[in-house]
Structure 1
Amino acid sequence: MTEQAPSHAVEGRPAGDLGRRITQRRTELGLTRKETAARAGMATAYLQYLEEQPTAAPGTGSLLKLAGALRTTVWHLTGGDTELPAGLGRAARTPRFTELTEAECRSLLATHGVGRLAVITDSGPVVVPVNYTVVEGAIVFRTDSGSTPAEAAGRQVAFEVDRIDEAFSEGWSVLARGPARAVTDPEESTRLDMEAYSTPWVGGRRELWLSIEPVAVTGRRIRV
């Protein structure tokens, strides 16, 4: 029997945790709501209901169909792995390991998100996560002048981003290396404020922009 959406399903933004996870995953795969519903064998209106209603509680069968359509797991869709590090899944039996070209690496870097900044500080090497944007080929992020990331200014640093697909044991990683500098020009800072992909997740006043000009970019991909 085809599941039908309640009559009050309307267009809007994802409201509940499940809805946000479904929408995020199909966006990652470049799928429309209609395409996803067709893959899962459910009505588009019902998928809309799942995405937009915070109280939606689909049965196990619907979740399994959605997980299959979105190439993920029910555990991930329902937030079961939120507090766990990526990469706990099993390795594939026949993984294929390849080097990425510089163009592929820069394209993946430009998708934005959270990266890991590695910097040598006065107290030793440190790796910290920062959410970043790529502007004209430079990796830029905003921080506080007294923070650990701020110590990257004037130093050679490394910056790493990656993506793991637990359901299919696939993933990629990109490593960029180069000098970091503090952005001191007011006009450049204003321009970065306007072009930033997102504000710092940690909140608070983060008014110092840092820019990394990659001089070496390498990457790897694992496929099944």
Structure 2
Amino acid sequence: MSEKHSEGHGHCCGDIGRRVAARRQELGLSREEVALRAGSAPGYIQYLEEQPATPGIGFLLRLADALETSVIELEGGTTDLPPGFGVPAQRPILTELSSDECGVLLGTHGVGRVAVTRHSHPAIMPVTYVVADGEVAFRTPPDALPATAPGGELAFEVDHIDDVVGRGWSVLIVGRPRPVTDAEAVRRLDRQAYRAPWPDSEGARWVALTPTEVTGRRVDVWDAHRHVRRRLEQA
């Protein structure tokens, strides 16, 4: 199939484009770089991101490979499924990530999870976040757990799982939260924010987490052919 519109792939208008743009930005790639990887034209990547489009399955496969994801992810087929719903890889490889790698994967914004302990009970809640000045900042309602836990340690986690190929990664940050009260700092974070706070609240306050420990892990799939090539190159 060509890159032009094709019938039979009923996607919601613009949904694939939004996922392509988000994944491209997550990887830090330009449209030109994605087009080169996918064997396409930058203009078509722009069209796909900005206009309702239903590309053929052949191009979707190349695009998913270029964006290091899966067609199911681009089509939103895993939207309502918990992470890790697919079949695990037969021979997974677990590697520790450096702090620099963790920083790249964390990106500049996204959705993560905050874990706190209050009254001897653990609690986890999703939050939208931005990275600014070496800190992770997120907004919560005044009575939410992360907003009421300054002084103690807090854990923040973000991850990505590709159920189709059994690959994924996770980054864990531990630190001490502090409320952001400086008016200029609040305005600066508001300008950087890509999403409204979860849940949306007029009284939502910014909380900044200064990392004291950053760790990450990547789960990959053992590739016999790649292993042989690497051994030959080292010989």
**1:111 deviation in Å?**
3.4
User: 1:8 matched to which residue of 2?
Assistant: none
**1:39 deviation in Å?**
4.8
Contact 2:31 2:42 in 1 (8 A): yes
Contact 2:175 2:210 in 1 (8 A): yes
Q: How far apart are the structure 2 equivalents of 1:72 and 1:107? A: 17
Q: Which one-letter code corresponds to 1:169 in the other structure?
A: G
The equivalent position to 1:92 in structure 2, one of 89, 110, 128, is: 89
Q: Which one-letter code corresponds to 1:130 in the other structure?
A: V
**1:129 deviation in Å?**
0.9
Q: How far apart are the structure 1 equivalents of 2:27 and 2:143? A: 39
SS at match of 1:145: coil
SS at match of 2:202: coil
Q: Which one-letter code corresponds to 1:221 in the other structure?
A: R
Contact 2:2 2:58 in 1 (8 A): no
**1:101 deviation in Å?**
2.2
Moved more, 143-152 or 112-121: 143-152
Q: How many pairs were matched up?
A: 214
Q: Which one-letter code corresponds to 2:112 in the other structure?
A: G
**1:85 deviation in Å?**
1.5
| TM-score, normalising length: structure 2 | 0.74
> What does 1:16-35 align with in structure 2 at a 5 Å threshold?
16-35=14-33
Residues 1:182 and 2:207 are matched in the alignment? no
SS at match of 2:187: helix
SS at match of 1:84: coil
**1:2 deviation in Å?**
4.9
Moved more, 181-190 or 120-129: 181-190
**1:17 deviation in Å?**
1.0
Contact 1:157 1:179 in 2 (8 A): yes
SS at match of 2:154: strand
Contact 1:174 1:219 in 2 (8 A): yes
Q: Deviations over 1:47-95 (max 9, x none)?
A: 55444332x3344444444444444333222222111112222222332
User: What are the ranges of 5 or more consecutive residues in structure 2 without an aligned counterpart?
Assistant: 6-12, 222-235
Per the alignment, do residues 115 and 60 of structure 1 end up closer, same or farther by CA in structure 2, a change over 3 Å counting? Answer: closer
| TM-score, normalising length: structure 1 | 0.77
Q: How far apart are the structure 2 equivalents of 1:93 and 1:123? A: 38
Cα RMSD, aligned residues only: 2.9
The equivalent position to 2:157 in structure 1, one of 160, 171, 178, is: 160
Residues 1:75 and 2:72 are matched in the alignment? yes
Per the alignment, do residues 59 and 146 of structure 1 end up closer, same or farther by CA in structure 2, a change over 3 Å counting? Answer: same
User: 1:214 matched to which residue of 2?
Assistant: 211
User: 1:108 matched to which residue of 2?
Assistant: 105
> What does 1:39-78 align with in structure 2 at a 5 Å threshold?
39-40=37-38, 47-54=45-52, 56-78=53-75
Q: Deviations over 1:132-159 (max 9, x none)?
A: 1122212211122122332222321111
Per the alignment, do residues 220 and 202 of structure 1 end up closer, same or farther by CA in structure 2, a change over 3 Å counting? Answer: same
User: What are the ranges of 5 or more consecutive residues in structure 1 without an aligned counterpart?
Assistant: 6-14
Contact 2:16 2:75 in 1 (8 A): yes
Q: Deviations over 1:117-140 (max 9, x none)?
A: 111123721011111112221221
Q: Which one-letter code corresponds to 1:171 in the other structure?
A: G
Moved more, 34-43 or 115-124: 34-43
